[in-house]
A and B are shown apart, each in its own frame.
Chain A
Amino acid sequence: MHEKYGGQIDFKLVYIREAHPVEGEMPPTEEGESCIEDPVTLEERTALAQRCAQEFGLSGMPLIVDGMDDALGLAYEAWPDRLYLIGKDGAVAWKCGRGPAGFDPDGLETAIRSLLKLPELKP
């Protein structure tokens, strides 16, 4: 989607507090799950965010790292993951629910096409 609409939409990856760190409410319990410790300093968080972007093949996208006060995650009620589309005027054009249940990449694409006045995608 980044490659498809990147010329008309600024995609930004916002790294927020870990969803399933070993210290968290839902630590990994199944074999093979990644064991990640929740960063305790901004340096650690930044390094993990960069690793995350790289491993998920998103390193071409501008990366914003939330502060240790989780200001962005809280302001956007974004934890553990969420998508937003913000119009040029700064208003929220579209947002999905919080993940995992509400996470909706298809909804984001539909919203982008609507904002850019592109024809709807055929199913």
Chain B
Amino acid sequence: MGALLLLLLQQDASPAWRYLAEKYDADRDGRIIAAEYLRGADAFAAMDRDADGALTPADFSQTGLAAWREQHRKERQMKGVLMAYFQEDKEPDLRRAELLHKAAAFDKDKDARMSASEFNTLVKDVPKGRQKELPPADAWAHLAATLDPDGDARVAHADLGAAFDQLDADRDGLLKQLGRKNQPLPLKPADKPMALLFGSFT
């Protein structure tokens, strides 16, 4: 009965899950554990979207993927807010200490929490170019929605630090700016113009 149920589940599962199960689910129990997966811990963790320690059809279902993408979207937005508004120097990366130092520097009432008015003061210090992607009102709305669970319109500095830690997957105390702009482009033409076609198999 169990085997039949498993077979039915497999038939309904996404092609990605079936492909992986065929290749890595050595004991055919409908779960791929880390010891069965042979292509690295990073990829395993990326696919274990519900973080239950095993790859299952749920990690590849439309519902599971949609929930994970929403979570991922929120994390990207948080990273955008922190990187845009909490930098003190001209380096494109954001250090944890830099984030907390800036939050403290604008903590007018010294309560270790950031209010909307303190954030608005901080914004005056942020170059306009950095505010473009996520305007201050949206940035504050995201901070308040994510890091103000008690709804008192204040964001604890400790929660800013915790949000940073959640985004800092390699735990090096640094959030890196990917795809930096204004870097020289590496591919140079020889004696005639060059058309570059970037892409992949899928």
Chain B stretch 1-56: residues in CB contact (< 8 A) with chain A: 14-16, 19-20, 39-40, 43, 46-47
Question: What residues of A have a CB within 8 angstroms of the CB of B191 in the complex?
Answer: 88
Asked whether any CB of chain A lies closer than 8 Å to the CB of B196, the reply is: yes
Known: A16-B200, A18-B201, A74-B179. A29 touches B16 (CB 8 A): yes
Interface size on A, residues (CB 8 A): 67
B6 to chain A, nearest CB (A): 20
Known: A10-B189, A35-B19. A40 touches B40 (CB 8 A): yes
Q: Classify chain B: how many residues form its interface, as a range.
A: 35 or more
A38 to B112 alpha-carbon distance, docked (Å): 44
Stretch of B120-128, B140-148, B180-188 at the chain-chain interface: B180-188
Question: What residues of B have a CB within 8 angstroms of the CB of A15 in the complex?
Answer: 199-200
The answer, among B16, B62, B188, for a CB contact under 8 Å with A22, is B16
Q: Are A25 and B72 in contact, with the CB atoms below 8 A?
A: yes
Q: Are B196 and A76 in contact, with the CB atoms below 8 A?
A: yes
A27 to B60 alpha-carbon distance, docked (Å): 8
B57 to chain A, nearest CB (A): 11
Known: A12-B187, A29-B14, A37-B39. A85 touches B194 (CB 8 A): yes
Binding site for A on B (CB under 8 A): 14-16, 19-20, 39-40, 43, 46-47, 60, 62, 65, 69, 72, 178-180, 183, 185-202
- Show 12 residue pairs from A and B whose CB-CB distance is below 8 angstroms, ordered by the A residue: A8-B192, A10-B194, A12-B195, A13-B199, A14-B196, A22-B47, A23-B47, A24-B46, A26-B65, A31-B15, A52-B201, A90-B188
